[in-house]
Structure 1
Amino acid sequence: MQNVPEERWEGRDEVKRRGDGASKRAGEEAERETLMMELTRLVQRTVKGSSWWERRGIDCSILAAAFLCLPPAFLLLSSSRLLWFSAGVLLMGVAHAVLTIKGTHLASHGSLSESPAWAELWAVFFIEICGSFSARAGVRGHIKMHHAHTNVIGLGDSSVWKVPLLPRCVYLFLAPLTMPVITPLVALAHLKGHPLTHVVRTVLMVSLGLYSQYWLLIHVSGFESARGALLCMLVCRAMFSVPYIHVNIFQHIGLPMFSPTGRPKRIHQMTHGVLNLPRNPVLDWIFGHSLINCHVEHHLFPFLSDNMCLKSPDKPQPAEGLERNGTEGAEAPATNGKEEPTQDAKTAEEVKIQEDLKESEDPRKPEQEEQEDEEERKEAPSDVEEVKEEEAKEEPLGPDDVVCDSCIESPCRALKSCLTCLVSYCEAHLRPHLENPKFQNHRLVEPLRDIERRTCESHKWPLEVFCCADACCICQDCVTEEHSGHNTLPVVEARQQIEKELREKQSEMVKTVTAAENAINKLQLNTVSIEQSVTEVRAVIESQFEELQAVVERAKREVTEILEGEERQALRQAEGIRVHLEQRCAELKKTQAQVEKLSRNKNDVDFLQEYSQWKKEAADISLPGVYIGLMDRLNSVSRVIMDSTQELCALLVSSYIEKVRETCNNDKMGIKTTVHAIVAAKENLSIPDPQTHADFLKYSAQVSFDANTAHKFLRLTEENRKVTNTTPWQHPYPDLPERFENWRQVLATESFYMGRHYFEADISGEGTHVGLTYKSVDRKGAESNSCITGNNFSWCLQWNGRSFSAWHSGVETPLGVEKFDRVGVYMDYTRGLLAFYGVGDAMTLIHQYEAEFLEPLYPAFWLSKKENIVALVAPGEPLRLKSPSPPTSPTNGAVVSLTAAKAAS
């Protein structure tokens, strides 16, 4: 949405200087400010309620229609028949007039695009290539090609050349016919003093536009002589110059603005004098703006497109003193409080224009008027100097001061804020609200910074109260209406309480981050410790087995393999826990930075609103400790080796292998973690298990697929929250160590470690598997232990097209549960509980595992068949794939522990 700036119109100081007294000037200034503010609000409201078609589309369509007229025009000009040739000249003239009048008009005001780069590009194209004029002069100086004619007759607003020796009729009727020649010359005159690059660009672009039309006339229209092509260009480009120049003159004069004693005044006089004139629909369409209205609105609001100017609402009626003419010396007949007929007023205005046109034929008139204006300015008191002296006496603005929104050139401290206008005013600009009865219903309060954010949208009162129940800032009316009966506090007290909580939370976070960094350092050191310890045990084994010679070789190899296998498992466990802790540490540091940033916010309302948003997204700050008990377990292996060497030489092979394996199974080698509360944990063992869907949502987690792990037959969409099996179509994923190579599987980016967690997934297609596994799962192997159904550290649920089945360690447990299109996965890591639920009107338990988890768990998915789909959804989100079938109760054997699963194997 484009923002319509509220600007001061030109000449305000001139009007103030010519007043009869200070009070009268202040009253007129206040009236003008009031009219301008109301007009700005009307225009802003109109723009905000408009569509792109109204803001840009209509004007662009007219320009596109003009471009579409060019090909048939060139073709018609190639005809040897007079009728078709004349139609081609007319069509070419219409197209050129629309492009050079409407196009340059929109481009000079920057109304074709909100992007500065595109606006500059369009200005160069329409003004220089199409209009043969200077884009810099048109945009920065508001000087367009028609001013070359309006200025020489003394009626323009940006004088270039003035030749008062020639009769005015020459410039009114003859000079416009030479527009194609005068316009580039005026452009060249404005290039004086500009940078060389700008001059070169303008010359090249103007030459390109002229030569393009000439080349097309020669090669497309078939003109045989250069003289004929140039004459055709002159006729087409000058065809509509006379009527448009007269329209522009009428715009710059304005009926009510013209003064018998002076030249037309500036934009603020046009504002008060002609804002309410009727529009002409024909001229609106041809030239893109009406005689007076749109021209004035483009000066006041330059970024409005032509169509938005035509859509502008009815203007507020100016005060009585401004309705007359808005000019000094304008003779208005006395009305004694009664309005005269419109026809009489119009006749008087026409007489004034005719008299002034006669008087202005004197070439010395403009010079005399300028001298008179200079004398009046010298005699009039300098209000500008007085204002500057008063502002100099005021204290300088501080960083916390609210600035008046109406003081553009020299910002002043705001005295009040209007909740109706949503604008802050200084003492001078506040007067209309205090004196004008139209503003008596406006609500004035102490100055507010960012008033829209600190004002209630419903009641337009300041946000002074914080609702503890809904965690939002409200006004006094909200306390008795929408938030009636809620626990509320003043924003200052609410901030104090929340700041106290944040300080406590921050101290807990410092401890948690420190503990996390220490745990990561321990895990990094533990990798070296594992290798050193295993090397020592390997030396003991080798020294013992050397005594047994050939019989011992077989036992030696097998025991060494067992030990190395345990080493790899220990390293995988250490790596998995380290990655998780690093991830948690980064999240905690990010949360800590957010809390510090939140505490620095000085505004109470912003602080409370940002805190409410942060609190909803705040992560759990609990973190486990790490306990490494490696040496005790390795010493037990060494003792077994030495004792067996002495006692079981005869039964060497069987005894060593069985006892070592039994020792490893009963007392796992590797890293053991013990959880202790660094800070208060999110979960507590005394909290009952969730029962309803709302209970599960308390532990919900946002999960997304890890693109680096996805098999090449799996396509990820919707920001990595949906995966589809596209067999046999592969996707150009890079080869990474993390990517599954043989099994069509994908892991999630997030991991679960300690505490309770819950996520939901929509599944579609026979052979879809949903489960959890360790990060150490093999990615490249083709064996069954690389699949989430075939190893002892993965737990998953399969939909086979008829019912669900549970898989663990290569063992399938049929469940006999009918289909659910959405599956909820719940885990309590501390208790070793993993459960799958069917999500429907009620939560239906499908299957449950009980196990001892040694590493962080990652959500894992296997899409075994073509067109299988899994979509990760935000818990509670409407079903995305299919409507769920009516849920059924699980069978009696739905709850199976890990021990039972192993027994089945």
Structure 2
Amino acid sequence: MATASNVLSEDQFQCCICLDVFTDPVTIPCGHNFCKNCIIKHWDIKLQCPMCNRLFDRRPELHVNTFISEIAAQFRQLGFKEIISCSKQQQAKPGEVHCDVCTEIKVKALKSCLVCATSYCKTHLEPHQRISGLKRHKLIDPVQDLEGLMCKKHDKPLELFCKTDQVCVCQFCIESNHNRHHIVSLNCEYEETKAKLGQTEVKIQQMIQERHLKIRELQCSLELSKEDADRELEDSVYIFLNVSQSVEEGLAQLIDRIEKKQITTEKQAKGFIKELETEISELTRRGSELEQLLHTEDHLRFLQTLPSLNSVPPTKDWSEVKVHSSYEGIVRRAVAQLEEKLTKEVKKLVEAELQRAQQFAVNVSLNPDTAYPKLILSDDGKQVAHGDSKQNLPDKPERFKSCFGVLAKQSFASGRFYYEVESINRKGEIMVCPRNGFWTVCLRNGTVYHANTSPPVCLSLRSKPQKVGVFVDYEEGLVSFYDVDAADLIYSFTGCKFTDRLYPYFSPCLNGGGKNSAPLIISPVNNTHLLNE
């Protein structure tokens, strides 16, 4: 029965309508065969061949196919229907390994033989399970490329692994090219490599998890950034609207003062002009009377009228009278008032900025291995002062030799951080600048404050800072110094290009004969005074 299944194919004895072995097979004019009842029922719907789709004008005459009928009867007696069903269940699907012995129907392979280099279905595998010589063959789960499992030089199974050359070998390879090499079984190498791969898989899964956490961290940071941006936009709009309103109000008040002053000046001038016009009228009338009197020939009337016309009518002394409106300083005073308002708004912004910076406060302590030999550090690493004598300290690579400085133990390569330092009047110079990797501010000669840029920038401060706050945003390239007590910005380095780790830097400078003996102190951050304002 297995042999018959390989000789005849399914479409030779199966009706394409009912998909069963022919019953009363008939042939239609186009040459195709069907069960009689199947084609009659099909033609009740449409006069067309189900195989070639040929159309008929009328029902063709049906002829019994005696040859197909006899063969179908024989197969039905042999139980071929069951063979077809079995073949369908075992037939190899695309991508599956099929039996190399089967010819017509490619049945799914059950095992592959490394010795025969052949894959077998259940039927054709039977000799390997029955014949003693074949029983010794190595059977494995079916694989597509059996040649890849065989040694190309010796045509033997690759059952061993050379750890020296990291290749699979057969037993004959050991005696030739791999003599005295470290040889293990494939199974041993498989288990060892599998264990390593398991560790690698765990590490990969851990890396995946870390990256998922990083994604959530970045998403959280993005949300916080969006909230910060929305808040900054809201605050900026509010502030700029206030500033714009203040400018508009200041301009309106300035215009109003100028216009009112001009109106007052015009009113005063018009009053003076009116008085002058009145005096001119009176003088003109008196002049006319005098002219008439001068031309009269009546001596009596002349002498009688002369006393009343001989004097000048009473008038105002206009020699010191002036009309002048002074606008000197009116614009300057208005701008000064506007500047005062803007200064108040800026101070509010700096206070809020300092308060936000203090949220990133870090615990900073001094690293004694970096301190200049004349610097004296406190036991808790929070204070540094300049001493008169040089201490005998180990000459470590990280120690300052010519600069009166000391670094913090802590360093930062990302993010934002903030710390505060208490300071007093001190003398000395710090020859540091951004191009040498220093971002600092300093006090020189006890009165002059500088930002150590190239060249240095002289700072105009409202008061002498006693406590300085330092805020750094690594990614933004920002270093800002604040007067903590005054809640004022001292100076900001912007556009910095950080590439290495940053260490907080401190320098009390020279002792100055005792004038600069007080230490530089790293103090705890306390922003409650800002929160209460």
Structure number with higher strand proportion: 2
Higher radius of gyration, 1 or 2: 2
TM-score greater than 0.5 by the shorter chain: no
TM-score (norm 2): 0.33
Normalization by structure 1: what TM-score? 0.20
